[in-house]
Amino acid sequence: MIEAFEVLFRAFIWWIIAAAVVLTIALYALAAIVACAWQALRRRHTGPSWARGPLHARNLARRLTRPAHGHTAKIARESS
């Protein structure tokens, strides 16, 4: 009877160790996923603005067709 308890106790200990290993690996995987997603969200765009979608293309077209105004008007007049 004592031997049966010893076997069950060892199985229980191995089960706890295996669960700890699996949880550790899952935690590291989750941390890697969060870090990758965080970097992807913080990454700056390197391409032209019109390549980021129709809204960016529309804003670029508006900026190119409107005359300069405000503090940029003087610079625009001097350069042309």
Q: Give the pLDDT band (50/70/90) at residue 79.
A: low
Q: What is the rounded CA–CA span in Å between residue 51 and residue 57?
A: 7
Q: What is the rounded CA–CA span in Å between residue 10 and residue 39?
A: 44
Residue range 12-66, pLDDT digits in tens: 999 999 999 999 999 999 999 999 998 888 877 766 766 677 777 777 777 777 6
Average pLDDT over residues 58-80: 68
Torsion, Cα of 47, 48, 49, 51 (10° steps):
-80
